[in-house]
Structure 1
């Protein structure tokens, strides 16, 4: 492997061939890593390649490709029926083996036996091993079926004997309860009280059986109605539940005995018993016969119980042995099935000796694919090497973004919006920072951030053990998959909570407040407050213009004195609203800037001059200017002149109305009118550039291509079209040629599309900026909910100063903790998560991200190991 890598590196980096071997490999790795740095920000470069596989080596080569998971096979037989493909019989055999293994797995789970999962990744068995595997699975299935059949028959016999035992016991009790049992056992003589002489003796018959306990009331009413009250029913419950041999569940039954007279009633009684699924058993008439029969039944039950125990022990041994290897068998069979299914996608040449496949694969992984093919050829024993031929095509390749366990969650957020178009800018690297940060702006609380970070850190540190457990809880699996997202959201929430100086609705006084009340009641310095003023006033306002009252800003975040100020909400409203606008405009400008890199990469200068530049100017002249005004006002106005500061909102509205005669709102700086008029004119001029000019230029380019294209006269090239070499792209099938034809230019459609895009962008700049105000709204909502929860719950426990207050505090703290986790962490966290998701999908990604591609789905065995079902 090392020599192969050395050879490949020499081919790719011939200028460093003179280095020592160790330094040489180090240099290769560095250069390879540097070349892959650019792939982080856009999808991998893909290529279409042809595989020529020898028939005897195709199985092993596809197996090696499945292990590395770097190629996506194309179906070269789209018109061929699934049942008419070459390896359909092998696929069916694999499906039959998979069915047998599912039967074995079902029996193992029914017996409550744990399936051993060592995490082993077995190699793919060779095709000739399929016969041995089929024989093993067939033997195991037949043995289990035979054991189940015998066991079911034995359990059914055991159930019948058990029911007969209860019948013999209960019927004897019924007869013993009668005053004269001999009258019922031998004959019954009915005497007429009006006649002194004896009439002919009449014999009463009876039947005995068992019936489900829940059917007894209905059974009794049916007997009474059908037989018109001419039968006598006695029943008693069987105390111990009986096992149903067919369903394996526990059932509760009752013993009954019915006395009747005549064959007609006997037939009716038997029909009713049959309809209610009651089981009738023969019951002797004399006590001696019943006693002898009961002794024989008990002896048979004992013998049968011993046989049942031995059968169950044997079944447990078979299932325990199968449980140790059933997972490995599943992996082997499903790998074989996947290989044959993939081979069915290939073409077979006329000589039947070579299979031809077409695959999409990353260009950076071509060497690994070559090595895999070489390993597969060597493993099969073939002497003819497999060939990987890179092809040129006009087809759009699939989009493939390499991810790690850290970046996969953020990439999933982007892919949920839409799979990126091939080679366009990937928002995932930027989402890693901006998504948790915007979440934290809405969720900013140091205490809640610590709790969220702790929970995510637990999932991260124990991820290996949690992955091995393979939980079936869908909610837990979803949270576990996003553990790194939650970790970053918690860390950023701790940072924003520190900036807001908010920890469970309380402020942290770490550096001491920058405000002081001492100068306010110092008469020598002009103050007019006294200690009586402080005691007698419910609310007082500090004046920062008085010397010594405000010593300077807090080192980091909000001054803790604002937590006790009655105008705290007004101050935070203004601060967080301006902060939301600044973050929103910066985020959108960054998104528009990223579109420039797409235009540069795809070499579309028209989109730069008539797309990107007007878009960035339109947004910067309007909303970028607003952000500059916010910073300018913060810097230019101090505490002494802040009362005369003009309103930014009114100034911004007047800018659009060209209203500069408003005496109530003074200008912020000299020359404001001229600058704002210029900005408005530039912004308005950008609209026709995007709306009209770009459409006309597109029409002109189309006409130029139509009339001044490449023409060949006697082998001489005329015009500015592509050369023959550039135009010689391989069209390897007719379908691809039809798909790659450029759509006909329609001026009306292009004009409508450009008008929609322009209107959407211009109006979107306004609506999207307003949409970022959700950062302000949710941040205030979270802070207020936290404060209300503290005052309504925790404040109760802290108000008591007695000894019993400790118990009350413990109870109150429990409810406070539960409500904090349930409402502020889960519900508020989910709300902030969804709003941050919306800001990225709608406000950020639509500035540069098309998301109209299709995902790269490589042929890999990883899904089999993870237990996911195959396509």
Structure 2
């Protein structure tokens, strides 16, 4: 029986299907989505398979539907979405579907062709109308006379600028050409090409062409895509048929359209009247054709998505049938598939339904086959809550078959470690509310089928973000950090030990250089030990202290080490579940136990020291583990102590020596002043001692037999390394030499036999041993990112508060009231964009790293194959762009 902790048990099945019922049976299995079919025709290409023609027909229908959808989109018509379940169509309906789609496509193709022709003709009529309207202004006698003189000058080699008039020295008698010898061409060209067109004409024809243009006030393309393009009418005067050919080519090159225009005004007026009537008629025909096309598209938009799903299911079924082999009688199809053991009955029931729906009386036969040399896929039964966390794990690697799944623990550890780095209750509330809104409107958002990739990324991780925000509120309250400020709910455990008279005397401008009075709160007097620590989280007094980072950084740093080593230790413990599941005693005794010894004897020992130091040591003198502790100046240095442990460096026992009780006659004030060599337990004069402090007292042994204990721990950790390195490879070689089955532990190789090579096994084990030993050190350091990112987020939050929101809060009068709302909006925008999105993404990625590398590497192989059943729901989501 499977669970979220281990993948489901899988069965490898062989199914015998009647040819006439195979389609419907596969359709039922597609609706169920619990069978992953194996391709039994891998040696065949796609053209050699039995149902290749049916697949091609489906692809052709898809092409036609894409064309129809393109036309619907082009007309800005919204396709009506389907609500009800759409069953897979029967194969006998394919002919009808093909005919309907082909008819609709042909109808749209013909309509588009007609519209294209009609629009082209309409543009030509509009341009001809504009030419006839404007050419009367260009064909007057004065223009023709200027053209004749310009061309005459060009023939004498005196060509000047285009459209030049007669020079004063020229007279009518000196004109070399008569107006009646001139010919002209009219046409239309886009405004942005007019200047280049005129220059090109003048240069190519050497000034022997006289050009005049005039703008068209209204657009000529009323129905096309280029409605805003303005054009101009041009008229070109020239002499000789050779120039006509050259001018035609130049006009064609510039995309200009030429039109034959009558020279006489009466003919032009008559033609203009006819063209105006044709324009109106053409406009009516275009509008009616467009209305007809719109009706066809509106009708298609109602069913287009339904047709898409029908063809998609049809194609996917035939594609799956191509995986099946055919017996020699051509009457049976043989399928092989993976099915979850717990769902075997559901698959059998689906086959039975498919058989009855096809009208066949022969129930398919499903046999369970031997899984030898076959590697089962990994399948977890998930819901919408656990799916997001499983995706985080699967992004690293798919769990091997029946391997322990990290996802159940990731549900809590991932958002918690994120929150340790994020650590702001105010920003956590914003993140929590954003995720809660996605959960509240979940059904509406799913129904909307939003295809934006970024939105779908956030939406698929809505439950992850929800817990991330919730834990961020929790850790923010632990840090007592809300937008870089603290709240005082239970009352601080610190008090001001100075009386008001002394404070008044100290608050003298002559005694302070900065105008501010800095006070030191000695823990002996300012901390109310009887009251106890702040009940929940960090005491709010630290938010006011200038040395708050000196307090918060060591606290967060040590907390990061505790959390990191705890998670790594838990990961090693989980590896025991994998070894015990496989029944591998050699892994349990010579891999797991040495790993526990190495990790525990060094790193867990360090964690115990951290906790003991927090609990036991204090600023006041006391007896600790039978040794006199003089005060905080002798607090043990754990880092140097760990280094001394590896160096096996000799250290003195205790913090002081020559401890002698003080006589009862010694006054209490003598020790209370902190005289070197004298201390009292809890300020009790009857419990005072004289002593001599060791040099570097914080580096000495602080509990009995510490040197011996650490030497034993170090020896055990050192011996664990060769045990992990050597025992398992030699044990595998011993089993191989006796012909016993072996598991090389290199992951699956597609069901192939694993060849034994002692050198490869030795190298593989050496890599894992070195990786574990060095990883314990580097991974512990890596967990310090929990402290580093928390510090960075807190500092950025403080900068944002002081540089933005704090400015209007310090303003007085009406100015502060007016400015505050605008600055608050800017503060929220910067907080969301920088501290929540950017910093949140950074903390998210670091949390991923901590889980993938530091945690999962201790027990998780991730070399499995995902279970990919034939499922219509998954196929449709991928088709609609909602999944990958």
After TM superposition, the score normalised by the length of structure 1 is 0.88
> What is the root-mean-square deviation of aligned Cα atoms in Å?
2.5
Q: Is the 8 A contact 1:87 1:341 kept in 2?
A: yes
Looking at structure 1, the residues matched to 456 and 221 of structure 2 have their Cα atoms a distance apart, in angstroms, of: 38
Matched, 1:832 2:843: yes
Q: CA deviation at 1:182?
A: 9.6
Matched, 1:533 2:542: no
Q: Is the 8 A contact 1:397 1:422 kept in 2?
A: yes
Q: Is the 8 A contact 2:375 2:750 kept in 1?
A: no
Q: Secondary structure at the match of 2:650?
A: coil
Looking at structure 1, the residues matched to 440 and 216 of structure 2 have their Cα atoms a distance apart, in angstroms, of: 56
Matched, 1:680 2:691: no
Encode CA deviations 1:39-58: one digit per residue, 9 max, x unaligned.
Answer: 11011111110111111110
Q: CA deviation at 1:739?
A: 5.7
Q: Secondary structure at the match of 2:450?
A: coil
Looking at structure 2, the residues matched to 206 and 833 of structure 1 have their Cα atoms a distance apart, in angstroms, of: 75
Give the aligned partner of residue 239 of structure 2.
261
Matched, 1:240 2:274: no
Matched, 1:479 2:452: no
Matched, 1:651 2:641: yes
Encode CA deviations 1:629-648: one digit per residue, 9 max, x unaligned.
Answer: 01111111123134121211
Q: Is the 8 A contact 1:585 1:623 kept in 2?
A: yes
Give the aligned partner of residue 204 of structure 1.
182
- Long gaps (5+) in structure 2: 153-165, 622-630, 653-694, 743-747
Matched, 1:438 2:449: no
Q: State how 1:458-537 maps to structure 2 within 5 Å.
A: 458-517=437-496, 519-521=497-499, 529-533=502-506
Q: Secondary structure at the match of 1:49?
A: strand
Looking at structure 1, the residues matched to 568 and 227 of structure 2 have their Cα atoms a distance apart, in angstroms, of: 64
Looking at structure 1, the residues matched to 412 and 361 of structure 2 have their Cα atoms a distance apart, in angstroms, of: 52
Q: CA deviation at 1:693?
A: 2.1
Looking at structure 1, the residues matched to 460 and 801 of structure 2 have their Cα atoms a distance apart, in angstroms, of: 33
Aligned match for 2:257, one of 279, 297, 300: 279
Looking at structure 2, the residues matched to 635 and 213 of structure 1 have their Cα atoms a distance apart, in angstroms, of: 87
Looking at structure 2, the residues matched to 248 and 369 of structure 1 have their Cα atoms a distance apart, in angstroms, of: 59
> Residues 78, 487 of structure 1: CA spacing in aligned structure 2 closer, same or farther, 3 A cutoff?
same
After TM superposition, the score normalised by the length of structure 2 is 0.87
More deviation, 791-800/640-649:
640-649
Aligned match for 1:171, one of 135, 150, 153: 135
Q: Secondary structure at the match of 2:379?
A: coil
Q: Secondary structure at the match of 1:390?
A: strand
Q: Secondary structure at the match of 2:865?
A: coil
Encode CA deviations 1:766-809: one digit per residue, 9 max, x unaligned.
Answer: 00000000001110111011011111111111111111111122
Matched, 1:85 2:96: no
Encode CA deviations 1:355-374: one digit per residue, 9 max, x unaligned.
Answer: 10000111111111011111
Q: CA deviation at 1:548?
A: 6.7
Matched, 1:348 2:320: no
Looking at structure 2, the residues matched to 355 and 695 of structure 1 have their Cα atoms a distance apart, in angstroms, of: 47
Aligned match for 1:668, one of 702, 714, 717: 702
Q: Secondary structure at the match of 1:855?
A: coil
Looking at structure 2, the residues matched to 261 and 365 of structure 1 have their Cα atoms a distance apart, in angstroms, of: 92
Give the aligned partner of residue 591 of structure 2.
611
Give the aligned partner of residue 286 of structure 2.
308
Matched, 1:132 2:96: yes
Q: State how 1:550-589 maps to structure 2 within 5 Å.
A: 550=529, 551-589=531-569
Looking at structure 1, the residues matched to 476 and 254 of structure 2 have their Cα atoms a distance apart, in angstroms, of: 71
Q: CA deviation at 1:220?
A: 1.1
Give the aligned partner of residue 118 of structure 1.
82
Give the aligned partner of residue 849 of structure 1.
860
Q: Secondary structure at the match of 2:384?
A: coil
Looking at structure 2, the residues matched to 608 and 804 of structure 1 have their Cα atoms a distance apart, in angstroms, of: 72
More deviation, 252-261/547-556:
547-556
Matched, 1:689 2:723: yes
Q: CA deviation at 1:172?
A: 1.6
Looking at structure 1, the residues matched to 42 and 341 of structure 2 have their Cα atoms a distance apart, in angstroms, of: 26
Q: Is the 8 A contact 2:598 2:717 kept in 1?
A: yes
Matched, 1:798 2:776: no
Give the aligned partner of residue 14 of structure 2.
50
Looking at structure 2, the residues matched to 197 and 388 of structure 1 have their Cα atoms a distance apart, in angstroms, of: 105
Q: Is the 8 A contact 2:23 2:317 kept in 1?
A: yes
Give the aligned partner of residue 292 of structure 1.
270
Encode CA deviations 1:430-464: one digit per residue, 9 max, x unaligned.
Answer: 11111000000000001000000111111111122
Encode CA deviations 1:588-625: one digit per residue, 9 max, x unaligned.
Answer: 00000110000011111110001100001110110000
Give the aligned partner of residue 21 of structure 1.
none
Q: Secondary structure at the match of 2:187?
A: strand
Looking at structure 2, the residues matched to 552 and 183 of structure 1 have their Cα atoms a distance apart, in angstroms, of: 109
Q: Is the 8 A contact 1:231 1:258 kept in 2?
A: yes
Looking at structure 2, the residues matched to 672 and 810 of structure 1 have their Cα atoms a distance apart, in angstroms, of: 62
Q: Is the 8 A contact 1:520 1:549 kept in 2?
A: no
Q: Is the 8 A contact 1:797 1:809 kept in 2?
A: yes
> Residues 192, 782 of structure 1: CA spacing in aligned structure 2 closer, same or farther, 3 A cutoff?
closer
Q: Is the 8 A contact 1:48 1:358 kept in 2?
A: yes
Looking at structure 1, the residues matched to 170 and 503 of structure 2 have their Cα atoms a distance apart, in angstroms, of: 120
Give the aligned partner of residue 29 of structure 1.
none
Give the aligned partner of residue 577 of structure 2.
597
Paired residues in the alignment total: 798
Looking at structure 2, the residues matched to 82 and 825 of structure 1 have their Cα atoms a distance apart, in angstroms, of: 50
Encode CA deviations 1:262-299: one digit per residue, 9 max, x unaligned.
Answer: 22222221121122221111111111211111111110
Give the aligned partner of residue 732 of structure 2.
698
